[in-house]
Each structure stands twice: as structure tokens, then as C-alpha cells.
Amino acid sequence: MTRSVKRVAAIHDLSGFGRASLTAIIPIMSYMGIQVCPMPTAVLSTHTTDFHEYSFVDLTDSMQDFMNHWKKINLEFDAIYTGFLGSPRQVKIISDFVKEFSSDSTLVLIDPVMGDEGELYQTMNSEIVRSMRELIKSADIITPNFTEAAYLLDKDYNLELNEETIKEWILELANMGPDIVIMTSVPENKDKSTISVIAYEKKLNKFWKITSEYIPVSYPGTGDSFASAILGRILKGDNLPQAVGRGMQFITSAIKESYGFDYPTREGILIEKSLEVLNLPFMNGNYKLI
């Protein structure tokens, strides 16, 4: 059935404060005219970066009921999108969800949210890393940052890698299953003033690179905002480099809107100030084939 509004099942946690996961995904995709149907994996008072003593309600036991109800009412989705996992057991449920709800035309985006800057997040452990390696096999698109790629491939986090080695890592990830690998926070070997995203599409065997100025600040949840923007743009008909280029345009704008203000980075990027950028034309075609 062709729906007038594209529909995404978003299997993520809901962190009440800090602009990560569902509190970023819902506004971003809604702004692009896409319906988001959240299936919460956990409810937290805040995300877990730079907040301590947060409350964490694990919803693993409710996920199957949720899924059964959606099946009963014959819900169909244009995309299934998942990220931060509350427990390894959720991997099995999410794999079942993908089997139950995906058809040839359903895009499955798995963002293997596990860590950043060489470290795992507080609630992550080696069991989740192993589970994530299994889960990405059922993805069409994965969006690991450089740290997550290292964990998925069991490699050392090394900021001095050259472009050829990073392309080999990406091919190894694509060989695990996904058709599209979008690696974020890719270091630029000697040039510390820029940071890149490299996107690879198996069907075309092409690597696209989008580089932007490195801003020395890190806001939690930025990866969720970026992946939501890219998935939204793909659902709206963009090709891969356009979607990633537009995602980058949005994130760079939101970081620049945020960086000039004096507030704790743990509150996340000020997405509310940059939503309009999501629907702007893709301005400077800032990608290249590598």
C-alpha cells in the first residue's frame, strides 16, 4: 500500500532530558513529514553521558506485547530504525521485529549506538557488543561512528589510520550484511582541523566522503540526530550522498547554533533552532567520490 505519509518504527529509548534518542528522532523526522511510531526500549530520566544517578526503566519485557499488538492491527512500516539498546535480550526481540515487519521495500537502519571517542557508554558491555555484531546482519543501513566500528570489528581505536585502511574497515562491515555503511567521526589522519563521514553503497561499489570543519566539542545525541536526518532524507527520495550531505548540513548548522551559547554540552545540540535546515535544498554539494 502506498501511504501518503511515510511511516517509521523507531525502536529506541526515551531519555527525558538531553536531546538523545526519541526526543531527537521524533521532532527531526516529524519536521520532514514522516510519521514516527516509537517502540520504547527503556525510559530514562536523562541519557547516560555526563549524567549520574539517572533513573532507568528497562522495557524489554513489554516489547513483545507491543509488537504483538502492532502485528494484530496489521501495521506496516516504510522503515525500521533502531539504536541504543537497553539490554542484550532486546537484540533477539528486535531481530524478530525485523523478520515480522519488513518486506522488500522496508529499509532497516541499525545505528549500533555503543560509545564514542574510543570508549563504551556507561551501560554498555562486551555482551552488548557481541549482540550488536549479530543485529547488524539484518540491516540495510548501519551508521557506526569510528569508535563503534572499531568495537564491531574488534580492532584498536587508532586516530592515525589512513583512508585506505578506513575503506577496508567499511568493506569488512558491509561484508557482515548491510548494503550501506555510513561511518561518522572519521579522523583525518594528520589534519586535526576537519572530520569526515564516509558512506559506502555495496550495490554501486562507491565510497562517498563528506568533510567538515572539526569543532572541538561533543554533544551527546548528535549521532541520533544525524541518523534520523539521513533516514528521513532517503525516505524522501534523496540518493546516498545527497542524504548524507544534507544530514551533515543539518548537524553542522545545529552544532554552530549551539557552540556559541554557554550551556552544558550534556544538554545536546539545539536541534529546535535548526529544524528548518532539514528541508533546505542541498546547498554546496560538499561530497566527493573516493
Q: How many residues bind ligand PXL (CB under 6 A)?
A: 16
Grid coordinates standing for 206? 562507491
Q: 99-138: which residues touch ligand PXL (CB under 6 A)?
A: 113, 121
* 267 vs 265: CA distance, rounded Å: 5
DSSP 203: T
Closest to ligand PXL by CB, 161 vs 271, is: 271
How near is the Cβ of 130 to ligand PXL at its closest, in Å?
A: 19
Quick check: 20 binds ligand PXL (CB under 6 A)? Answer: yes
Q: 40-69: which residues touch ligand PXL (CB under 6 A)?
A: 44, 47-49
Grid coordinates standing for 44? 530514562
Quick check: 13 binds ligand PXL (CB under 6 A)? Answer: yes
Q: How many CA atoms lie within 13 A of 92 on its CB side?
A: 7
Cα-based angle 23, 66, 232 (whole degrees, multiple of 5): 40
Quick check: 148 binds ligand PXL (CB under 6 A)? Answer: no
Q: Which residues pair with 9 in a beta bridge?
A: 37, 80
Per-residue binding letters, 166-205, with ligand PXL (x by CB under 6 A): ----------------------------------------
Closest to ligand PXL by CB, 161 vs 229, is: 229
How near is the Cβ of 248 to ligand PXL at its closest, in Å?
A: 18
Q: 211-230: which residues touch ligand PXL (CB under 6 A)?
A: 220-221, 223-224
Quick check: 266 binds ligand PXL (CB under 6 A)? Answer: no
How near is the Cβ of 101 to ligand PXL at its closest, in Å?
A: 22
How near is the Cβ of 220 to ligand PXL at its closest, in Å?
A: 5
Interhelix angle 126-135/146-153, nearest 10 degrees: 90
* 228 vs 18: CA distance, rounded Å: 16
Q: What is the identity of the amino acid at 163?
A: E
How near is the Cβ of 285 to ligand PXL at its closest, in Å?
A: 29
- Could you tell me which of 225, 237, 184, 278 has the C-alpha nearest to residue 78? 237
Grid coordinates standing for 89? 535480550
Closest to ligand PXL by CB, 115 vs 245, is: 115
Q: For residue 234, what are the contacts with CB-CB under 8 A and spacing of at least 6?
A: 107, 141, 240, 243
Binding site for ligand PXL (CB under 6 A): 13, 15, 20-21, 44, 47-49, 83-84, 113, 121, 220-221, 223-224
